[in-house]
Structure 1
Amino acid sequence: MAAIVLGVGASHSTLMNTHWDQVVHTERAEAFRDGLAAARARIAEARPDVVVVVGSNHFRGFWLDLIPSFTLGVGEVVAAGDGGTPQGPQRTDPEFARALAAALVDAGTEVAISARLTIDHGQTHAIQWLLDGIDVPVVPLVVNVFAAPLPRMSRCVELGANLAAAVAGMPDDKRVVVVSSGGLSHQLPWPSDWTAPEGEDEEFLVEAWLNGRGQWSRYDKRRREIIVGARPTIFSEFDEEFLADLERGDLRSYAELTTEEIEARAGNGGQELRTWMVMASALGFAPGQALAYSPMPEWLTGMGAAVIERGESTP
């Protein structure tokens, strides 16, 4: 039978690609980059046949006209190429992805499917840094972390458990790695309520979220200026506690956090921790290993990287 053999969690930020020359905290930046390299080495050692990449979408493949809680790419996958990340068609395994989607629905997690999915740096940053030189197909699993109402953390835990069971039920012997991309703490200049934007910048962002389908690049220049101009807000104490709990195998308790509690403790960008919860749950909440943590105000984010080996209780 197929099996999940490794889980990896890693923060993403396109500013790592586009603004490296403006980094002040050089040692921190290099430490995080080294952590990504260590995670990549662990993935290579795991010899995966397929990698499920759990990440968000920053309004380049999904728009306010339709945003499911969970979406699985089951056919063509095209990378947007934003912020210096990979661009164009990605190598995929549609047969595995479709079987995975069917098994998840049978288990009670009704994932949406996309036969032509556009992914952005919410997943391609991980592909760029963690799968560099590893020739393996990817199956994107997109979690809505931006447009309220967001899926409950407990539903993300359920998704991860059902993902593990679905993989274990596959008839072949594929080795599967689950990568989560996003977080840790950060605060983006998004409107807190997309139905009631405040000020010209928020009004522009909501317009882009509503009307960007097929023309996201038209909005990208100003959108990026808004983001780059944001005041860094990082909750290092929360990040360090989260990674310590990951090492102890204690992340299950985070399933009780509400959207409001996450934002208060980790900023609105902390909502991306849902992707880590999917991954950790798929690995049976086994104790893991933090590979790096670097609070990077230049990248607006607390940057963390960690791995979790397959736990004894994982199907």
Structure 2
Amino acid sequence: MARITAGVGTSHVPAIGAAIDNGKTDDPYWQPVLAGYEWTRAWERETARPDVVILVFNDHASAFDMRIIPTFAIGCGERFKPADEGWGPRPVPVVEGHPDLAWHIAQSLILDEFDMTIINEMDVDHGLTVPLSVVFGQVPEWPCKVIPLAVNVVTYPPPSGNRCWALGEAIARAVASFPEDLNVQVWGTGGLSHQLQGTRAGLINRDWDNRFLDRLVGDSDELRHIPHLEYLRETGSEGIEMVMWLIMRGAMGKATRQLHRHYHVPASNTAVGHIVLEPAQG
């Protein structure tokens, strides 16, 4: 059967994608940001080798706008093109989907009482392509299939951390019931602390960010109970993106082990966080 072997959490800062695309990865500003992904890049290439990544991200008004705001949307198509976010699509490969697994997950989640929106055509923006770039590098094609799972964390009301964690648990059940032998990873992206507007623009809370990363490891489920107001107060208006990491964590099962971790400030006007987890057995 298919199995979830690892979880990856990472920020998806658009400026990181621009730095990669424009050959600035060795600049003194960007080098320490990207150095934290070197371990993961080698691990994915030499050891992990996933067949499919379920990539949890949020759209930034590229595929969705105020006309339609799905809380959870799963991409079931065969391919997803890089979106034009105002300065042309990023020069990265087209994302190849895995329709069979995606449709199986969609059916399983809906029968498990999650009201999923099914998307067959969608362009994907930096929320999805930057994580692929920092983990896989500049490649002619992505080395695995990708199932996009979009979460509304842009317009009120976003889903609760508890609902996101439970969705991750349901995804794990769905993957485990798929009969094909597949090595599957779940990635949670976005965050960490940042605010893009208002009098608190530029807010970064290092202590809270690192406590969040700490609590992804082990057998605690404390993170699923953090209320929206705490994210807003402690991590800024865009810090709510961290609930997407909880889908990844929920999919890892009762307990996790940390394989790698990276935290860096600043990158553009945000903190960059990154963690690699595996399910802990027993």
Match of 1:293 among 239, 263, 267: 263
Q: Is it true that 1:42 corresponds to 2:50 in the alignment?
A: no
Q: 1:33 deviation in Å?
A: 0.8
Larger relative helix fraction: 1
Q: Is it true that 1:136 corresponds to 2:149 in the alignment?
A: no
User: What are the ranges of 5 or more consecutive residues in structure 2 without an aligned counterpart?
Assistant: none
Structure 1 partner of 2:6: 6
Identical columns (%):
30
Give the aligned residue type for 1:70. F
Q: Is the 8 A contact 1:53 1:139 kept in 2?
A: yes
Distance 1:190 1:96 in 2: 42
Aligned residues: 271
Q: Is it true that 1:115 corresponds to 2:120 in the alignment?
A: yes
Structure 1 partner of 2:243: 274
Match of 2:75 among 73, 88, 107: 73
Give the aligned residue type for 1:94. P
Distance 1:190 1:277 in 2: 27
Q: Is the 8 A contact 1:235 1:266 kept in 2?
A: yes
Structure 2 partner of 1:189: 197
Q: Is the 8 A contact 1:57 1:120 kept in 2?
A: yes
Q: 1:190 deviation in Å?
A: 7.8
TM-score (norm 1): 0.79
Give the aligned residue type for 2:186. V
Q: Is it true that 1:33 corresponds to 2:3 in the alignment?
A: no
Q: 1:22 deviation in Å?
A: 9.7
Q: Is the 8 A contact 1:74 1:94 kept in 2?
A: yes
Give secondary structure in 1 for the equivalent of 2:55. Answer: strand
Structure 1, 261-270 or 241-250: larger mean CA deviation? 241-250
Give secondary structure in 2 for the equivalent of 1:272. Answer: helix
Give the aligned residue type for 1:172. E
State the Cα deviation string for residues 256-292 of structure 1 (Å, max 9, x = none): 1222221111111211111110001101141324421
Structure 1 partner of 2:180: 172
Give the aligned residue type for 2:231. I
Distance 1:7 1:86 in 2: 26
The Cα RMSD (Å) is: 2.5
Q: Is the 8 A contact 2:6 2:276 kept in 1?
A: yes
State the Cα deviation string for residues 29-63 of structure 1 (Å, max 9, x = none): 43331222222223232121111111111111111
Query: Residues 97-246 of structure 1: matches in 2 within 5 Å?
Result: 97-132=102-137, 133=139, 134-189=142-197, 231-246=201-216
Q: 1:34–1:61: structure 2 CA closer, same or farther, 3 Å change rule?
A: same
* Greater gyration radius: 1
Q: 1:140 deviation in Å?
A: 0.3
User: What are the ranges of 5 or more consecutive residues in structure 1 without an aligned counterpart?
Assistant: 192-229
Q: 1:70 deviation in Å?
A: 0.5
Structure 2 partner of 1:225: none
